[in-house]
Structure 1
Amino acid sequence: MTIHSPARVKDPLLQPLKLKKLVLRNRIMSTSHACGLEKDGFPQEAYQAYHEEKARGGIGLSMFGGSSNVDIDSPNIFQQLNVGTDGIIPHLQRFSERMHAQGAALMCQITHLGRRGDPYAQDWLPPIGPSPIRETLHRGIPREMDEHDIARVVKAYGQAARRCEEGGLDGIETLASGHMIGQFLSPKTNHRTDRFGGSLTNRVRFALMVHDEIRRNVSDDFIVGMRYVVDEGIDGELSADDCLAAAQILEREGAVDFFNALFGSMDTSRSLSEEVFPGMGTPAAPWVAAVGRFKRAVNLPVFHAAKLSDMASARFAVAEGHVDLAGLTRPHIADPHMVAKLLRGEEHRIRPCVGAGHCQSQHRPKCLHNASTGRELTIGHRIEPSQTPRNAVVVGAGPAGLEAARVLAERGHKVRLFEAAAQPGGQVLLAASDWRRDLIGIIDWRLAELEILGVTVECNRYMDMDSIAALDPDLVILATGGIPQTEFGAGSDLVQSAWDIVGRQIKPASDVLIWDNTGRHPALLAAQMAQAEGSNVRLATIDVNIGQDLVYPESTRWHKEFAKSGLRPEGNLRLTGVTRKGNKLEAALINELTHEVTHQAYDQVIVEMGTLPMNELFEDLRGHSANDGVTELHALKDLRAQPKNGKGFELHRIGDAQSSRNIHAAVYDALRLCSVS
């Protein structure tokens, strides 16, 4: 891949970096993570294709295999790889060939979970650790390791490293921080009194033994680094000075060739979502300065990734000497071609990472607004031009409609896009507030792409059957969204929706009940806004707790927000009725556990029950369409063009115009339908 201008030749991100004999073509990397695509514990076709796309997109180094297990009592609990068997070697060989053919380097992270292991996962073996101290997130109480355990695990690390080199990889990193190496290092998890506990010299001994064994099993040219904590933060006990002192020992002993810097500890949801993997609502590049102080005190290359969300943040980190290699891991999930766009002078066209955390959920590695990531073997990232351009009409300019218009225009169709509201964005305009304001990037990026493609969003345009028919379309896509569902039983006419509060259609009253039936954001946003305006808020949910439909960084953030404000949500409550009592509304709530019904009066009752499709336009159009508005599901799933059933336009619904779902579902609807239309 060539650089096309002198300005880009000088870009700090595009300078090569030498590690031993390996030369990385730029300063941009993707850090190790468990991407969720493993098969039988190995990086097979889907896993490799996911990383190969980043290599094709110009990345310098892709690291993979977050928390790859070196031994049997480090179990697979979040779809890690198994580097504890020679069976992985052929897969690594094919993987490295593919990445090297695209010009990218490839490394794997190897580890033992230690006390983070689940005693009931995989082979039901007890977790082990330096001391028998419970791990809060994974809930295991480890057995204290004896010298036999230590010798076994040290050997396992060495064999895992051997397999990685035989697999053609350029190097590996071990994981300290909350995993076994870090558990020995931290006085929080190491209470031993033998040669592995007490002084810093003793606590770093296990790491030195592991890396000595790794060096014994690999060649001198093979690169060996460590994902290393530079400060355990407020939940830990290793200070920045302690971490630096241990790092200097590791450097002096020749244990490592680089440090891949982390900040924070891993044993609480708060520290994971705010420190180790900071997301939406946290400042950009929060730990770059701390990592820079660490880097200036060691003499090895230092890598770092923690909300380096865009090229500007990464460029600053490299240019100011804070890091040698910038980790843009989640941004590459949003756009694996970001380096190629930078090289073409199209940095402004990079699809932004909005930090939503969808890629860290059970759906990983799927991006909230890039439905191709993780589906490289099916839909992929390239939009193919159509051989038969069509006259397409898209109604609705929320995420689904904007994506449909973008994909259709990329394919060469003539696209008209209409929005009834005064501006595009749909529900995202309501959602993108306060700590979730970065969501607006989902809309802004698509609007910018549509401008480049020559598609105008025609706002304040309410479309009916006649106005659509007058355009003589071949294809009509309805992305008209939904309206709030408020029908729960007796008294439904007396309540308002959470949207009314969030959209400021109504003012919160003095005494408010907000009932959440979805476990999503709207009720929580409404509660936060009402409380901020001085209302006395009772937040009840049908679920065990709030945010049940959200990914863990989001739910953790909501718990923190309400803990700060003093709002105490109540779970297992179902709203069964609302009646008017004078100038008050009496709400009946049944406890789903005890079936006890309580009645209490409020000034206002707000409900969140998702949305119902706005079907009127669809029903008007379907009788005039060639397909009666039917989207053939097998064709949709298999990425085949929809069957032609006769004369007239083809009609489809996408996103919330079908049912109440999230942004990713809406975008995926649009992408897979329109990429073959």
Structure 2
Amino acid sequence: MKFPNLFKPIRIKNVMFNNRIIATPAGPYNDKAIGGAGVIITGSANVSRKRASYSRPDEPYIFDKYQIEATRNRVVIAHQAGAKASLELIHSGQYARVDDYAIGPVDLVRADGTIVKAMDEQMMEEVANDWAETALRAKETGFDLVMLHFAHGWLPAEFLSPLFNKRTDEYGGSFENRIKFPKMIIDRVRQAVGNDFIVDMRISASEIVNGSIEFKDVLEFIKIVEDKLDMVHISAGLDINYEGNVHMAPTIFKEHMPNVEWAAEVKRHVKIPVAVVGAIMSPAEAESIIAEGKADFVALGRPLIADPFWPQKAKEGRDEDIVPCLRCQYCYHISTERKNVGCSVNPRYMRYDLVPLQLPKSDKAKKVVIIGGGPAGMKAALVAEERGHEVILLEKGNSLGGALRYAEYEELKIDLYNYMKYLIVQINKSKVEVRLGTEATREVVEGLQPDAIIIAIGAYPFTPPIKGVQQDHVYGALDVYTRMEEIGQDVVLIGGGSTGCELGIELARHGKNVTIMESGNLLAKNGNILYRVALGQAMDKQPTLHTKLNVKVQEITANGVVFEAEGAQHIIPADTVILSTGMRTNPQLIDTFYGIVPDTFVIGDANKPRNVMDATREGYFIAKNL
């Protein structure tokens, strides 16, 4: 077996776990339940009927009369392929959605005007008993274990962390006081479920926000409650707080496996099994964690949204067939304010009614010509071939990948680069006929006698009409990666979109003095909220990276850039000027392919420059419905 430690069974009490993979509550669990994980955390349960929910004030209690059948079904779904069923128990504390008031460690008024009342001892008793009742109901309903959510700024964490807990009574101040209520919850849960039921606890090793709990206190708390737990689940960051959220679900600006050393330190001090979550992207990474004794379980969230069958493919040694997660955050509703939730690489996520697990073969095989070998073109080619069509993919370059090829040169884009490699491997394993170095013309395409044409030619960089833009020391953003040795010390980067900002970070890491100039009032406007927060944190770490907003570039000279800001003209020295001023489609070329066959489609950046999620979705759906 390729990953023996990852698939080594482990017994906890009276339960045998088939492998060391835990599917977190992120996203629906139906596909994950048959995808091979050892544990399926089947979503959350609010422990209290009121003032506990993070979604809505009237959310039903899942163990009440008219909810219990659906709750039992969670267990049935999780057990389908031999996984164990877990349930996350949560109380949102001061962040709960309420129609009267929320409760937490201290009195306050939230930014949305909601009143939060400091919990008195009677409230603590009631809520601790709610945790106990809900855990017992989970046991009685057939769940194999529960996970107590003590992480990410929810109620128990609000008492543990001095970031939230400003109380001056016996439940605040010192570490010994701050742990009293969280410990009460754990004691009540254990008393309710008995010693034969598995109780897990998720906790943030660090909230990674100034003024929050220190790791040494987290470790000490775990040691104190260890005798009442059967497993501890190490995470990091906060949820509602954006500055902490980007460490809870790490973005591209954070390394892979950021929480592993914390988990390893916990494991050195406790006897119970330790699980770790956070940007564990590949089976090789997961295997190394278990093999090196740094944790006993790995918990996967977004990787199992990208590919719910990650565990099954890993077990079969087919890790090259795992669809890599991009850590783009689009699967997380906060990122897009619920406007465009989806997965960049898995079109089935959030669209289960439109995207089947297995594609049916087409009633009539067609010859499909696809023009362009970027992510949209490759996805369309794979889907069309899976449906039984004859597919010819024309790519004018000498390699597949399109704009993703530039991901090879930038540390921040490792996940994107892995996705490109995945697509190319799948193309090479398929029956798709790839013709590299072939520029598609109307004559070439007509000669292939297609039944359908999919145009995926991408977009080209836009060169703005700035005086002096044609000089030798002016580069396009996409040209820089292969010509880094030509870049001078003082760099002005015109355009503060995501591409420009990421390139600015890369250049600063190479020791360059970089100034990003953006005509608007916001950097990375094309990115989602959490991306921009994490981007800002990453940029702040580079002392030689500077930004100027609301500027108008007037001229590029031999020695610098002339620009207007706040009604005055300025000049900034520059050895090198880089243009990151967006992409444009090529309607003139696109139009030449129309009129050959009725079934002609434009997808990806050729349609409108945007992101991988749009390219993947369009490639999938157009090919699926041919």
Instruction: Please classify the TM superposition score into its range, dividing by the shorter chain length.
Output: 0.7 to 0.9
1:411 matched to 2:387? The reply is: yes
Shift of 1:657: 1.0
Greater shift in the superposed pair: 337-346 or 394-403: 337-346
Shift of 1:565: 2.8
| Maintained 8 Å contact 2:47/2:130 | no
Shift of 1:465: 0.5
Q: 1:404 to 1:69 in 2, by over 3 A?
A: farther
Write the deviation string for residues 132-166 of structure 1: whole angstroms up to 9, x where unpaired: 58999x99885432223323322332344355445
Shift of 1:336: 0.7
Which amino acid counterpart does residue 368 of structure 1 have in structure 2? S
SS at match of 1:379: coil
Shift of 1:478: 0.8
Q: 2:282 maps to which residue?
A: 310
Q: 1:113 to 1:171 in 2, by over 3 A?
A: same
Q: 1:665 maps to which residue?
A: 614
Give the Cα–Cα distance (whole angstroms) in 1 for the partners of residues 546 and 319 of structure 2.
44
1:29 matched to 2:1? The reply is: no
SS at match of 1:437: helix
Q: 1:482 maps to which residue?
A: 459
Give the Cα–Cα distance (whole angstroms) in 2 for the partners of residues 210 and 553 of structure 1.
32
Shift of 1:265: 5.7
| Maintained 8 Å contact 1:93/1:166 | no
Q: 1:93 maps to which residue?
A: 72
> Which structure 1 segments of 5+ residues have no match?
1-6, 36-49, 590-595, 627-649
| Maintained 8 Å contact 1:494/1:578 | no
Shift of 1:587: 4.4
Give the Cα–Cα distance (whole angstroms) in 1 for the partners of residues 174 and 9 of structure 2.
39
Q: 1:382 aligns with which of 355, 358, 364?
A: 358
Q: 1:56 aligns with which of 31, 34, 40?
A: 34
Q: 2:344 aligns with which of 368, 376, 380?
A: 368
Write the deviation string for residues 328-371 of structure 1: whole angstroms up to 9, x where unpaired: 22211121112222333323221222333333333686332222
Which amino acid counterpart does residue 19 of structure 1 have in structure 2? I
SS at match of 1:623: coil
SS at match of 2:6: helix
Q: 1:153 maps to which residue?
A: 127
Q: 1:647 maps to which residue?
A: none
Q: 1:551 aligns with which of 518, 528, 533?
A: 528
Q: 1:285 aligns with which of 257, 261, 264?
A: 257
Shift of 1:291: 1.1
Q: 1:174 maps to which residue?
A: 148
Q: 1:652 maps to which residue?
A: 601
Q: 2:413 maps to which residue?
A: 436
Which amino acid counterpart does residue 204 of structure 1 have in structure 2? I
SS at match of 1:445: helix
Give the Cα–Cα distance (whole angstroms) in 1 for the partners of residues 34 and 176 of structure 2.
44
Write the deviation string for residues 165-220 of structure 1: whole angstroms up to 9, x where unpaired: 45543332122232221222234433434332345443322123223433455466
Give the Cα–Cα distance (whole angstroms) in 2 for the partners of residues 359 and 526 of structure 1.
25
| Maintained 8 Å contact 1:67/1:80 | no
Q: 1:521 maps to which residue?
A: 498
Give the Cα–Cα distance (whole angstroms) in 1 for the partners of residues 162 and 420 of structure 2.
47
Shift of 1:624: 2.3
SS at match of 1:14: coil
SS at match of 2:29: helix
| Maintained 8 Å contact 2:45/2:62 | no
Shift of 1:530: 6.4
Residues 603-614 of structure 1 aligned to structure 2 (within 5 Å) = 608=580, 610-614=582-586
Give the Cα–Cα distance (whole angstroms) in 1 for the partners of residues 489 and 131 of structure 2.
61
Give the Cα–Cα distance (whole angstroms) in 2 for the partners of residues 582 and 290 of structure 1.
51
> Once superposed, what is the RMSD of the aligned Cα atoms?
3.7
| Maintained 8 Å contact 2:513/2:544 | no
Q: 1:340 maps to which residue?
A: 312
Which amino acid counterpart does residue 233 of structure 2 have in structure 1? N
Give the Cα–Cα distance (whole angstroms) in 1 for the partners of residues 558 and 268 of structure 2.
70
* Aligned length, in residue pairs: 612
Q: 2:291 maps to which residue?
A: 319
Give the Cα–Cα distance (whole angstroms) in 2 for the partners of residues 462 and 286 of structure 1.
44
Give the Cα–Cα distance (whole angstroms) in 2 for the partners of residues 187 and 303 of structure 1.
25
Q: 1:464 aligns with which of 441, 458, 473?
A: 441
Shift of 1:597: 4.3
Give the Cα–Cα distance (whole angstroms) in 2 for the partners of residues 509 and 298 of structure 1.
53
> Which structure 2 segments of 5+ residues have no match?
none
Give the Cα–Cα distance (whole angstroms) in 1 for the partners of residues 219 and 503 of structure 2.
45
Shift of 1:250: 1.2
Q: 2:51 maps to which residue?
A: 73
Give the Cα–Cα distance (whole angstroms) in 2 for the partners of residues 467 and 105 of structure 1.
55
